[in-house]
Amino acid sequence: MPLKAVIGINDGRVPKVPAFVLIKNLDVNRLVWFLVDTGSTYSAICESDALLAGIDPTTLPYEKGEAVGFGGKFRCRSINHPVELIFKISDSSQFTVHRSGFKLIPAEHEDEAIRRKLLEVTPSVLGMDVLNKFEIHILRKKVELIPYEQ
C-alpha cells in the first residue's frame, strides 16, 4: 500500500510543503508554500503571501506581546477568523487542519528598502501547532508529512 503523505520539496536548506489556506470570512482560498519549522511553536503566514491572497495586514489587530524569530523580535498580527489548512495527500485525498485564528508576520520597518527585503525573504511557516498532527520526514530532496489518524 503506498504511503499517504503530504509531499513537499527540500533543497537541502529549506524544507517546504504546499497547503491551501481557506479563510471563508475573508473570501480567501490560496495555495501557499510553508517552511517546515519544527523549532517554531506557532504557524504563520507572511505578509507577502497574505497580500497575494487579498488580506490587508493593516486591518488586522496586533497580537499581545512580541514574538522572537529568525529576524529578532517582532509583533505578529492576528487573523481572527477560522482558518483551514488543506493539504493534498499523495493518494489524491485531503487532510484538513482547522485553526481558530492564525498569525500573520508583518514586514514592518521604517526603512522602505529593508521592508521590501523583508517582503522578499520572510517565509510562511508551519510550526508545531500544525506539525504535531503529522509524522515528519525530512529527506535529502523531499519532505513527507504523514497525517496521524484522526
Task: Write the CATH number for 107.
Answer: 2.40.70.10
Q: Which domain holds residue 114?
A: 6-24+40-147
pLDDT in the model for residue 119: 79
Does residue 62 register a pLDDT over 60?
A: yes
As for how many domains the chain has, the answer is: 1
The residue among 132, 121, 135, 131 whose CA lies nearest residue 13 is 121
> Does residue 31 lie within any of the structural domains?
no
Does residue 7 register a pLDDT over 90?
A: yes
Q: Could you tell me the pLDDT band of residue 29, with boundaries at 50, 70 and 90?
A: very high
Question: Which helix (H) or strand (E) element contains residue 47?
Answer: helix 47-52
pLDDT tens digits for range 139-150 = 989 999 999 975
For the question of whether the overall pTM of this predicted structure is more than 0.85, the answer is yes
> Does residue 32 lie within any of the structural domains?
no
pLDDT in the model for residue 1: 43
> Does residue 54 lie within any of the structural domains?
yes
**Averaged confidence pLDDT in the chain:** 89
Cα gap 66→74, rounded to integer Å: 6
Question: CB-side exposure of 105: number of CA atoms within 13 Å?
Answer: 27
> Does residue 55 lie within any of the structural domains?
yes
> Does residue 33 lie within any of the structural domains?
no
> Does residue 49 lie within any of the structural domains?
yes
